[in-house]
Amino acid sequence: MKTVNSLSGGKTSSYLAARYPADLDVFALVCIDDMNAGGRRIDPKIRQMVNDKLQKYCSDQHEFLSTAEDPLILAAMFDLEQHIGREITWLRGIGFQQISNTMHLIPNKRHRYCTSLLKIDPIFNFLFRYHELPVKMRIGYRADEGHRVGNFKDTYFMATQCDFVIDNIGEQPPGNYKKRKILHPGLKGLRLDRETPPFITRWQEVPFRIGEFPMIEDQIVRQDVQRYWRDKDIEFPVDSNCQFCFWKHPLQIRDNYDRNPGIISSAMVMEEMIGGTFHSALSMQKIVSLAPQLDLFQMKGAGCHGGYCTD
């Protein structure tokens, strides 16, 4: 069974890669397919290097233009690869705006689909296509983050097939399918009087991974991680993961706006176009109007419950 280090680009998961070698080191990059989201501030050479990496396993996805994460993460991951002496596999899913437009919903604490679609899906698809499942997957949870282990899931719901529905008189729905009474073949005559796709996706829960948390076992805490990287020549982002993540404190997002205004502005546009807000209490527009704070030490990191976004 292969071992896999799941990397987020922060100091903690990078410590995991440096101190606990694995068969595979995978990094799923959250992308925004829009140059206006800070893309013009990314060095063209770095952007080309990222596209070269993504082309290897994600050639079916959009060209890399920008990211919802701090762009410093790009150079940091290339430097980390040199530091550990092993290849890091770069992956990506569809762009953040594509997901929001498809779901017609802004991700928030109640609808936490972003981690599943932007992080988990690309990693599962890569492992399913090129390796044998399940794998032993190491996650960068520190000993002072032990409460997060309870949210770890070891299975994955995989789309296995699509079945076309039929209407009451046995005809196949037309291509321009509209409101019609349909008979779902798998639900014993249940009629659905609403706009329904002409197909039903079948899902299957499959074994995915066996979780390993070596940093918790070895009692590694935040101070140990900071001490390790203190004399290493790798510049990590001040705040890792998506810059506008709804798990972050509003003042942290406000601080991120000063460093990456294009990314936060992109989130602001998504809120305006789709409706709703990322943060439960404030819109991005209100967050950027807050007075900046000097000391945000305890606010670093998103603390995502999805099991992939670590410091």
Task: Report the C-alpha gap between 204 and 64 in whole angstroms.
Answer: 31
Question: Read out DSSP for the chain?
Answer: --EEEEE-SSHHHHHHHHHS--SEEEEEPPEES-TTTTGGGS-HHHHHHHHHHHHHH-TTSPPP-EESB-THHHHHHHHHHHHHTSPEEEE--S-HHHHHHHHTS---SSS-HHHIIIIIHHHHHHHHHHSPSSEEEE----GGGGGGGGG---EEEEEEEEEE-EETTSPPPPTT--SEEEE-TTTTT-EEEE---SEEEEEEEEE-EEEE-HHHHTT--HHHHHHHHTTSS----SS-SBTT-TTS-HHHHHHHHHH-HHHHHHHHHHHHHH-S-SSSS--HHHHHTSPP-S--GGG-S---TTSS---
Query: Which tens digits make up the pLDDT trace of 168-208?
Result: 545 555 555 544 444 444 444 444 444 555 667 788 999 99
Q: Tokens 């981690």: give the residue.
A: 115
- In DSSP terms, 159 is beta-bridged to 203
pLDDT of residue 97: 80
Which residues of the chain fall short of a pLDDT of 50? 169, 178-194
Distance CA 107, CA 105 (A): 6
191 DSSP β-pair partners = 183
Q: Are 154 and 218 in contact (CB under 8 A)?
A: no
Strand-strand pairing, 191-194 and 180-183: antiparallel
Which residues are within 8 A (CB) of 226 and not within 5 positions of it... i.e. 6 or more apart? 11
- For 100-140, write each residue's pLDDT tens digit: 777 778 888 888 888 888 999 999 999 999 999 999 999 99
pLDDT at position 180 is 44
Q: Is the peptide bond preceding residue 134 cis, with omega within 30 degrees of 0?
A: yes
Instruction: Provide the token pair at 56.
Output: 């290897």
